[in-house]
Structure 1
């Protein structure tokens, strides 16, 4: 520093150089909070001042002794973080200054000889290990290049410490996420994760640095934080001061809800960053598969449907690398799998079976227009809903031995997904008979629902008291009602639009009945968290769109009073969807689409001479086609524009009447072995959010 640039003063300055330059308030500590927030803690220093002719700088020791009572653990952690940042920079510079080829890996340990008469099932994993575990330690250059790339892309300061909430808020969000949503993704062993969470915070307070092998766990941790905060009730949302103080200047102090959504999205992106950086290292990680399963509750809410598709396919591939699809049942699984750390205990194997079925369901039931990537013959994984590990997906213990398993819901949804797999997804062409058969199968599932998940429950006060002790049951029943009616509506309205003769009216009425059931269910008084799941918004918007189009295309079937009642119902739905538009993109887009249709309904003119395609083209382009120029008919199909409505319709709408198709051979005995007999629910698996997406 030039001596002439040193200013003279009567007293030494305690504000840091950067805060003085920016003319902002400094807390007069080193590093100060403003510098820590700007990730400049390592540059925070006090200016040199000339006092009475002598060059002087404020003493840190004096300041600490004066304000020692104000120092908290959090402030000390931030100071340590600043030191870690400086150390990381020096280590990176030192590593890059060294010549390549100095890194040598450890040699693999020699394996003990096997018995001469090995069983075939023991030889298979041995051969796979021979192929997959070839050592490259003899080529140090390859390792050093990877090491150099890792260091180049590693940030000088680990941002994790800037992204953490307080420990109390972290416990609140993790507990809420596991208790309220744990059964929905089924990807976490709740008691084990709670213990790991406590150990994580103990390490932070003890100054233990984060190890690279712990990063996949961080991806799962941030995924749970993101879902917990996103779905949390507004009155329970933490204060802004308890959340990461990043980009705070864009929000007002009373804007807790908007800042909570912003923080949830930030944690969502951080979880994906951890997945991208530490999930592609070449070693398959169960934590990465778990994290991606939890994040399915966020993709659609944040308007990221393509991420859902891409990460789901990737996670299924990682799961196969972990032999998740070979876990079988507890009484019949390959012996060598128990030697893997991931599947060394009964609880871990049950977790693996649940997580595998998560991806089977997404493949069979999600993205209906895409061909399936998983076939029933490609895996042997199953698990029972009647064992002591079923309640490990939530932080709650059964009140008595007759408590139903939270995973019964997943077994219902998997059977429904198998129906779609057989009758819709494995066929490149469909005809009316296949859709009719699918409807019949779904109706059978609906009639045979377990009592506590059917619409007949609760039937009396005793049932209500019993249900109050099982908080997940009401949520599950609400989702199942919407899911089943959504499926019935989607198939029935396709049949109603087809040229199938006298049966067309019957399926039109069935579609309208399902639509009305969905709309009335959505308007019922239920907890807010129920309506944030993608399934609920998608089914509600699909029902509202179908109702609106039916009125526009068949005005002669609606009296003025009936038409007014339907319009009033649709307005209520729009108002309810709008309440969640700041939390869920699908609710915002859905309400906007219904409002467009409502505007046409209130204009009271007929569109009966138009096809569905023409009506939707008019709503999109605002150009009304002439009646004379309309050549399409209702039988042309019912395909909603993907950018407008999230309705799972593309790819299988057209009715190919008269086209004879044969079902591909399906091993029914094999699938029954996985699902159990059709009249029982002692099966297995997991249902993520029932997904088909729109682009937007």
Structure 2
């Protein structure tokens, strides 16, 4: 019987790599690999060549291939880039079939083969709808009764309006639509999305005031957020997130940080973060390249790209801000080219304009305003570390320590420049207009507390030397006033729902402890030479909002004992409330307690 060969609709790239092809031109696999310009169907040798259908308006990718560089331009080799040019000119008739096969082999084919030999799939996709998902997404989704659909929608709307500024790794309008689909067809979402769903619930339940939750018909149980947190982690493992990579898994990990640290699970969170970085790299989120207008790109593709930028820079920010405390980092700037997120609205109608993200002025508030300042600070922290490492160990030169301190002073000046050039609504004593969000004051004071902590981060190695050697005295002059001001501002915030959310941030708890401890150190270490910037009365007594009040901080700790206990702060405040008398008392406490060491890791 004669066999009839059907014409293959798969593209040549997918056929060569034995990948599942969406059979559109360009196909989804080539779009995800950023090689849409090479996507084409194999021509039937018995027929004349036919033009490729022009459907770019429906399937065009926003990832525009890089333009050729001029001969005089310096280039840096890009790892895993298989879009290199091939020799021009048609092969002669004398070329053997082997030569023609070599001409079609990608430059990185050998590397791909090595990856496959090691059991690692190098060909990854940002969309894994065609991959088998863990059975948990179907079984648990059908049985999940934590919150009803209307309750989830109300909670996510509140999250969108009042909590997104804290992280901004999830596009809430898209996520709310996905929640609607989930409740209409339980089990329709993939396992990693279920992990993200529970992470969003955990984040929201933890940071929203119980009265607000009650108005939504949600029981504000103390353990409900922790339950969702545990279900999220279980969903990650059930979805086999370390094998089946998805941006939902990375977003989930980013959100779990905010609850996990407050639950005292910092070791687990640090490992999850490392996994998140590696998964993001596997999804090529670190290689998105510069933003280029593409009028033919679909709106959702542009939104998804912006979400990838936000998520990647969240990981970068977390990695670099901890450099001063562990003297190392995971992500090197020479190994990624994903630009910082745009200052844009989340409303799709205002977010996308003529094939590109509509960038707003920095003085126009968006959900990205808060994190954009922290992104700039994280870059400064990395640059400072890089410069200090280039100087070598301080003992190798007579003035090695002073050279390092020179870099600290330089970083201090640049950090003040960042503060001075922040958006106007984050500046001290700025006017709060009605069109700003209701939580703008909490965002501003929380940001200032974080910046005070970054001054400490830069100067931390010279904290004690600043009391011993006048050469380093600028450290306490620089750090203590801003710590005092920011601490007073956070403690004097109005007692409302937005302050509740801000004070539940794990960073706020850690930064309050750090600021209070250094102010007390100044009191103790300066008693002998009477050089303290603040005296006992100013620290321990209060005559109004203009004074720093240690007792008020201690009362805040007692009200939120569980949160502060998770970062090892209770014993610190017990010690502070007893009023240490001298340097010996302080050193004895440090010898007996490890909690201060834990605090300094934040």
Distance 1:237 1:443 in 2: 39
2:502 maps to 530
| Cα contact 2:229–2:259 (8 A) shared by 1 | yes
Residue 453 (structure 2) pairs with residue 473 (structure 1): no
2:27 maps to none
What SS does structure 2 have at the residue aligned with 1:237? helix
Deviations 1:138-180 (A, max 9, x none): xxxxxxxxxxxx9999799647624522223222322223332
Residue 536 (structure 2) pairs with residue 563 (structure 1): yes
1:228 maps to 204
Residue 172 (structure 2) pairs with residue 181 (structure 1): no
Distance 2:378 2:133 in 1: 45
Distance 2:370 2:20 in 1: 45
Shift of 1:434: 2.0
- Relative distance call for 1:165 and 1:393 in structure 2 (3 A) is farther
| Cα contact 1:385–1:405 (8 A) shared by 2 | no
2:487 maps to 519
- Relative distance call for 1:585 and 1:598 in structure 2 (3 A) is closer
Deviations 1:431-481 (A, max 9, x none): 2222222211111111222211111312xxxx44343xx235333312220
Deviations 1:375-418 (A, max 9, x none): 11111111563545588999xxx9x9984233232222111111
What SS does structure 2 have at the residue aligned with 1:471? coil
Q: Which of 550, 560, 564 lines up with 1:580 in the alignment?
A: 560
2:267 maps to 306
Shift of 1:509: 3.0
2:321 maps to 365
Shift of 1:546: 1.3
| Cα contact 1:498–1:504 (8 A) shared by 2 | yes
| Cα contact 2:149–2:183 (8 A) shared by 1 | yes
2:476 maps to 508
| Cα contact 1:187–1:290 (8 A) shared by 2 | yes
1:215 maps to 191
Distance 2:410 2:577 in 1: 34
Structure number with greater Rg is 1
- Structure with higher RCO (Cα < 8 A, 6+ apart): 1
Shift of 1:354: 1.0
Deviations 1:487-539 (A, max 9, x none): 22344464352278434444323332133123212211242111111221111
Shift of 1:575: 0.6
Task: Say what the alpha-carbon RMSD is for the aligned residues.
Answer: 4.1
Aligned residues: 465
Residue 159 (structure 2) pairs with residue 192 (structure 1): no
What SS does structure 2 have at the residue aligned with 1:465? coil
Shift of 1:182: 1.6
Choose 375-384 or 352-361, whichever is displaced more.
Answer: 375-384
What SS does structure 2 have at the residue aligned with 1:374? coil
2:8 maps to none
- Relative distance call for 1:540 and 1:520 in structure 2 (3 A) is same
Distance 2:143 2:503 in 1: 33
Distance 1:420 1:152 in 2: 40
1:453 maps to 426
1:201 maps to 183
Deviations 1:239-298 (A, max 9, x none): 99x66xxxxxxxxxxxx65xx231110110110111122143633111111111121211
1:287 maps to 248
| Cα contact 2:503–2:509 (8 A) shared by 1 | yes
- Give TM-score, length-normalised by structure 1: 0.59
1:618 maps to 589
- Relative distance call for 1:444 and 1:383 in structure 2 (3 A) is closer
Distance 2:517 2:270 in 1: 25
Q: Which of 577, 597, 601 lines up with 1:598 in the alignment?
A: 577
Distance 2:348 2:555 in 1: 37
2:521 maps to 549
List gaps (5 residues or longer) in structure 2.
1-17, 24-38, 44-48, 50-64, 69-80, 86-104, 119-131, 352-357, 395-403, 542-548
Shift of 1:361: 0.7
2:236 maps to 275
Matches within 5 A, 1:429-444: 429=393, 431-444=404-417
Distance 1:319 1:451 in 2: 33
| Cα contact 1:531–1:537 (8 A) shared by 2 | yes
Deviations 1:166-219 (A, max 9, x none): 223222322223332223222111111111111211224xxxxx25x6211111
